[in-house]
Amino acid sequence: MENAGIIIIGNEILSGRTLDRNSNYISDRCSKAGIKVIEVRIVEDDIKVIIKNVINFSKKFTHVFVTGGIGPTHDDKTTEAIASAFKRKIQVNKKAKRLLVTHYKKSNLELNENRMKMAKIPLGARLILNPVSAAPGFKIKNVWVMAGVPKIMQGMFASYVEPKLKKSKAFISKEIIVYKPEGDIADLVEETQNQYLELDVGSYPFYNPPNVGTNIIIRGQNDSLLSKARKYLTKKLKSKDILYSINE
């Protein structure tokens, strides 16, 4: 099974000023493609920090999805960091430059030196085309580097990245709503997980008085096995007279 790690770059995320929507989107798309996301990390706009995390993730995962820090300003350090991580030089990419020239001719904005920075790509990297604002991302080895703005990143991912991923069975999940705090049913959830090691069995409490309970999510790629695991757990709940409902 192919897996993935996600690195979100940006001081604005860490400060709380901007909400991270990119990891949610990428994780959802990966789940539908049968790629298991193992880890998500948010890091600051610091070259050494980015280098360290990219190298680490590149060794650990089949795919590394990086968003943020490839714009025209002084704090956009991702391209430089990833070039350093893979010991590549940076230069103006001819195709990237043409894309920017064409885009800015159609706009009321000047393609100045700052914006031209977005055409500088590590040598040997493949471009990730940008259907929204033209400035491309790039791929080096197993690292996909995309914009931080959610709308732009989603355009890149949907139109260019996702079609190139090797897909398998989508991950699906089944939910059981249990009307007991998770501490009362933890042993039953653990028994179910141990019985079905191929699946992920998680418990997520909800507290909205008078409604207090636990959502049990059983997740995997085998629908038949998921149904068996759900049946196994509901049988355990019935034996203890614990009230539950199934969310189809």
Give the pLDDT confidence of 84-129 residue by residue, as tens digits. 999 999 999 999 999 999 999 988 889 998 999 999 999 999 999 9
Residues 6+ apart with CB under 8 A from 96: 118, 119, 120, 121, 127, 135, 136
Q: Is residue 67 located within the same domain as residue 125?
A: yes
Q: Is residue 22 located within the same domain as residue 140?
A: yes
Q: Report pLDDT for 43.
A: 98
Give residue-wise pLDDT tens across range 140-178. Answer: 999 999 999 999 999 999 999 999 999 999 999 999 999
Number of domains in the chain: 2
Domain boundary (113, 143, 164) is at: 164
Q: Is residue 99 located within the same domain as residue 177?
A: no
- The secondary structure of the chain in percent helix, strand, coil, rounded to multiples of 5, reads 40, 25, 30
Q: Report pLDDT for 70.
A: 95
**Token pair listed for 55:** 């190298």
Q: Is residue 134 located within the same domain as residue 213?
A: no
Global pTM exceeds 0.85: yes
Q: The domain spanning residue 102 has which CATH number?
A: 3.40.980.10
Domain carrying residue 230: 172-247
